[in-house]
Amino acid sequence: MTEPRSRFDIVVVGAGPAGLAAACAAAEKGKRVAVVDDAPSPGGQIWKGEQSRLSIPQAQKWIERFRRSGATLLDRTAVIAAPEPGVLLAEHPEGAREIEWSKLIIATGARELFLPFPGWTLPGVMGPGGLQALVKGGWPIAGKRVVICGTGPLLLAVADGLKKQGATIAMIAEQAPMSRVAGFGFKTLRHPGKLVQGMGIFARLRGVPYRCGVWPVQANGGEQVNSVTLADGSNQWTEKCDLLACGFHLVPNVELPLAMGCELAGGCVRVDANQLTTVPDVYCSGEPTGIGGVDCALTEGQIAGYSAAGSDDQAAALSNERAGWHAFRLAMSNAFALREELKSLANPETTFCRCEDVAFGRVKAASGWREAKLLTRCGMGACQGRTCGAAAKFILGWGMESVRPPLLPARVGNLTRTNR
């Protein structure tokens, strides 16, 4: 991006599957489209690195289609504010950028949900997706003994990827009971592609212990994690590990929609049949509307792109496909719902807000999220409550009350700059 101010018919925020699908659909209709993403290449977290290697055919298909579509990629560009209708303020290594739009599609994806428990801040404890990203970036994992725990299909996908890179997977601990996990597996019969994918992963993970109804209660170690204590409701035991990958599914990134005044429903962005939010000319697709996986995101992205480009007939033609993926999304949500025991993992001394080093006991003493922030600075660090805020919602029932700029850490000069 060379100009400090630019204008497009349609701007898509996020270059993951939903964003790429939206951009392709709109650009192929002759619209001037830009995709804004803080990464140097398209694909998002789920397809990170796929632009340079041939490992996921679906990713290669969409990245190549995007390259041919004529859409512009504004890479290394992070949206930090929405100062007025039709304008985004973004930060690029070269400075601030203002991006004007007639239609906006938000496809900001999701992030991992972390729940505090004793030892969760030890070096070597990280999210499954975070560990996967490190390994994709070249971080050596061969020979490491890894325990993967938490919930959701991501655990299996990460285990599969780490094993391919030479890691020893000591155990996969899924907190959901076997009855719900098995029921979810049965429902994948309606989605043959997912069924084949799942069977392939299980085949490659043959011999790796996979236990349901098991969750972490403590990470152990001094300078580095060396084991994790697990529980199943009746017993506790310890598994040795060099790394502990622990994440409790995903939460949608809704900071930008909230900042723009979009209504939420159940913590997700409320959209209509065209993926249009409650704010005129602002659409949303993918994980911010509900955690549904890649195929759901691709379908919603295309619907948003066609709708924003004025091709409502093509958008409507995908409605049945979307309904099928929404049914899959609901089944996944029900199967991997978090158990009540996870709310009591943290003790009063357990670090709750990592950015500001605030213990759980101090946070729990507050009457709500606002008071906790005022009294303890919980949620006021670099991540702006993205980690502890989601944990507080699950454990304490506190919701995010507001979002203020900057949406991400930014230079003061970029926040105050105008280019009119």
At residue 420, the pLDDT reads 43
At residue 417, the pLDDT reads 58
Distance CA 79, CA 65 (A): 24
Distance CA 149, CA 156 (A): 10
For range 328-354, the mean pLDDT? 97
At residue 162, the pLDDT reads 97
Q: What is the CATH number of domain 5-111+251-333?
A: 3.50.50.60
For range 362-386, the mean pLDDT? 93
Cis preceding linkage at 406, omega within 30 = yes
Query: 189 or 99: which carries more pLDDT confidence?
Result: 99
Distance CA 335, CA 367 (A): 32
- Which of 135-144, 332-341, 383-392 has maximum average pLDDT? 332-341
159 pLDDT tier (thresholds 50, 70, 90): very high
Q: What's the angle, vertex CA 353, arms to CA 351 and CA 355, rounded to 5?
A: 115
164 pLDDT tier (thresholds 50, 70, 90): very high
**What is the domain partition of the chain in residue ranges?**
5-111+251-333, 114-248, 346-396
Q: What is the CATH number of domain 114-248?
A: 3.50.50.60
At residue 401, the pLDDT reads 63
At residue 187, the pLDDT reads 87
Query: What global pTM score does this model have?
Result: 0.94
The answer to whether the CB of 29 falls within 8 A of the CB of 120 is no
As a three-state string, the secondary structure of 100-134 is EEEEEEECCCEEECCCCCCCCCCCCEECHHHHHHH
Percent of the chain with pLDDT over 90: 85
At residue 276, the pLDDT reads 98
Q: Phi/psi of residue 306, each to 5°?
A: -65, -40
Domains 5-111+251-333 and 114-248 share a fold: yes
Percent of the chain with pLDDT over 70: 97
Structure tokens at 288: 């911010």
Q: Is the pLDDT at 51 greater than 90, yes or no? A: no
Distance CA 378, CA 100 (A): 34
For range 272-295, the mean pLDDT? 98
Distance CA 301, CA 225 (A): 40
The answer to whether the CB of 7 falls within 8 A of the CB of 100 is yes
* Residue 43: burial class (beta carbons within 10 Å; 0-12, 13-18, 19+): buried
312 pLDDT tier (thresholds 50, 70, 90): very high
For range 62-87, the mean pLDDT? 96
The answer to whether the CB of 43 falls within 8 A of the CB of 15 is yes
